[in-house]
Amino acid sequence: MNLILLVLAGIFVNNYVLSQFLGICPFLGVSKKVDTAAGMGMAVIFVMSLAAAVAWLVYAFILEPLGITYLYNIAFILVIASLVQFVEMFLKKAAPALYQALGVFLPLITTNCAVLGVAVLNMQKDYNFIQAVLNALGGAIGFALAIVLFAGIRERIADNDTPKAFDGFPMALLTAGLMSIAFLGFSGLIKL
Amino acid sequence: MNMKEVVKPAVVLLIIAGIAAALLGVVSEVTKAPIAAQTEKTLNEGMMAVMPDGGSFTEITDAEKTGTIQAIYKAENGGFVITTAPGGFGGAVNTMVGIGEDGVITGLRVTSHSETPGLGAKSTDPSFYEQFAGKSGTLAVTKDGGEIVPITSSTITSRAVCSGAQEALDWVAANGGAY
Amino acid sequence: MANPLKLIKNGIVNENPTFVQVIGMCPTLAVTSSAINGIGMGLSTTAVLIFANIFVSLLRKVIPDTVRIPCFIVVIATFVTIIEFALKAYLPALNASLGLYIPLIVVNCLILARAEAFASKNGPVAAAFDGIGMGLGFTIGLGVLGLVREFIGAGTLFDITVLPEAFPRTLLFVMAPGAFFTLACLMAALNHFRNKN
């Protein structure tokens, strides 16, 4: 039961983009069209869950036993970077169709701070393996939901006249702000 | 692709990572003592605030921790300082409670929280936490028939702090005599 | 070698990371609920940026092209961890309020972008000044954002109350949505000013 709540909290209450500002770069950068936003969302769900799992294993079975936990930041970022590379190579060979859909988004994920953020949060909160993976999964689904909704709104705004000074980023930021208010409505719903 | 093209980059990366790891090892050794001192200083200041005449404090490690109790400290004057982490609006509200030998609260502080700024975050205001000093028995906010006046529009946070203090009171009532 | 003053001005004005390049948005939005937090984050990032730039520049002839990104990341992560330990040991209050966002300086696109675009192509002195300029530009961006949000949302500047108690505070501005709104309005104001000229 608590595990289901953990996932739901990640999606709605502690939404990484709209309430914790993790993963803002791809959120603003790849959200002009719903198709690409959905592709980015899928790629993030895939990589983030996998990265959280591997980072947890590295921390529990390498860094902690050796007493070198102070290297966690370097270790996590290298795990994520090499994992992204590995996933890219694997998909290219094993699932060309999926690679076609997600390929261009994969390199961008290395600098998505939500991925590293989840790994660090899991460590700080002392989550066990299952909690860590589910926390990442919830957070990633929340990211995908937010970016797809956001892209939908931006597609519509693009066809309308906006004040000239607000063209581009300011308009996108205002939209994100309004979405963030909507997501504030979820806060306090789930107690963990 | 010949071997040299693969091996050289890998070796360079390995050397850089090795130097980085060694450097961080040194930095972590150097800052270990100051960090430990800072953590202890923050803890001691908190305990002094909730129990000004407690003297020195020693942690009781073998006690049974009920509810959200995080740590229990025994004061020189016979009282207890207990840290709890009840669930508030935006996550755990870490609360430190001082309870005298007679089972009366000597002081209470919210040490860290992620409540809404300007609303639940006001739990760190003296006008709220000073109400708890001198209370004992059963605690509740006025809405639930108790004496604690909740923070305006932040009943959930206020209830959380009350339940944290209650857990501490109950622990002292049940186990205080044994330590 | 380019003029140091020009490099610094370039970072603060012409290529300001926050308002012109719009990169490093996560900390920009996340920690600017008060001016102190914004400036603290800005200066921590500046420190990492300067050291990372110098070392990337020194190592630029040794690092093979194929593994340059992982090498840059290792250099950056090292300095971030050093800053993290230093803050924990000597400025614990700032460390507590910046929390998770200190380790996340590693993935601040600004630092990797400067390593790739400037430090790996220039000498260490120029790279250091580029780091100072970009870092100050970033700090100013975060500081301004923090000042505005703190003033509207809490009625204080640097924790000193400036608005009379009776004046209503717009709490939304110190919460998440306020970050988006404040940055949107500041950028729109700059655009307006630029369009006029």
Which residues are CB-contacts of C157 (< 8 A; sequence separation ≥ 6)? C35, C147, C150, C151
Which candidate from B28, B89, B91 shows the least CB-CB separation from A70?
Answer: B28
Query: Is B169 among the domain residues?
Result: yes
Interface of A with C in 154-173 (CB under 8 A): 163-167, 169-171, 173
Q: pLDDT at position A1, please?
A: 57
In one-letter notation, the amino acid at residue C156 is T
Which residues are CB-contacts of C12 (< 8 A; sequence separation ≥ 6)? C133, C136, C137, C140
- Work out the pLDDT band at A13, boundaries 50, 70, 90: confident
Query: Is B78 among the domain residues?
Result: yes
Range name among B62-76, C39-53, C175-189 with the lowest pLDDT average:
B62-76
Chains within contact range of chain A (3+ C-beta pairs < 8 Å): B, C
- Greater confidence (A99 vs C149) lies with C149
Q: pLDDT at position C100, please?
A: 80
For A68, B34, C43, C102, C107, the CA distances from C87, given in Å and listed in that order, are 19, 10, 12, 9, 19
- Work out the pLDDT band at C147, boundaries 50, 70, 90: very high
Q: Chain C residue with minimal CA distance to B120?
A: C171
Percent of chain C with pLDDT over 90: 38
| Top mean-pLDDT range of A174-178, B140-144, C102-106 | A174-178
Query: Is B102 among the domain residues?
Result: yes
Calculate how close chain B gets to A62, using CA atoms only, in Å.
14
Domain count, chain B: 1
Query: Is B28 among the domain residues?
Result: no
Q: Chain B within 8 Å of A68 (Cβ-Cβ)? A: yes
Q: What is the per-residue pLDDT across C87-132, written as a single tens digit (0 to 9) for each?
A: 989 888 888 888 788 888 888 888 988 998 899 999 999 999 999 9
Is the predicted pLDDT of residue B55 greater than 80, yes or no?
Answer: no
Query: Is B106 among the domain residues?
Result: yes
Query: Is B24 among the domain residues?
Result: no
Q: Chain C residues with CB inside 8 Å of A113's CB?
A: 26, 104, 107-108
Q: What is the per-residue pLDDT across A125-142, written as a single tens digit (0 to 9) for each?
A: 888 999 999 999 999 999
> How many CB atoms are closer than 10 A to CB C103?
26
Which residues are CB-contacts of A75 (< 8 A; sequence separation ≥ 6)? A55, A58, A59, A62, A63
- Note the residue count of chain B: 179
* ipTM score for this prediction: 0.85
Q: pLDDT at position B1, please?
A: 52
Which candidate from B24, B116, B156 shows the least CB-CB separation from A70?
Answer: B24
Which residue of A13, A21, A191, A192 is the best one to mutate when testing the B interface, meaning the one whose CB has the most B CBs within 10 A? Answer: A191
Query: Is B50 among the domain residues?
Result: no
Q: What is the per-residue pLDDT across B58-107, written as a single tens digit (0 to 9) for each?
A: 888 887 787 888 888 888 888 889 999 888 877 788 899 989 888 888 98
Does the global pTM surpass 0.90?
A: no
Calculate how close chain A gets to B138, using CA atoms only, in Å.
23
Which residues are CB-contacts of C21 (< 8 A; sequence separation ≥ 6)? C15, C110, C113
Contact (CB<8Å) B20/A74:
yes
Task: Identify the domain containing residue B119 by its residue range.
Answer: 57-178
Q: pLDDT at position A39, please?
A: 85
- Greater confidence (C188 vs A21) lies with C188
Query: Is B16 among the domain residues?
Result: no
Count CA atoms closer than 13 A to B95's CA, side-chain side.
35
- Work out the pLDDT band at B175, boundaries 50, 70, 90: confident
Is the predicted pLDDT of residue C162 greater than 90, yes or no?
Answer: no
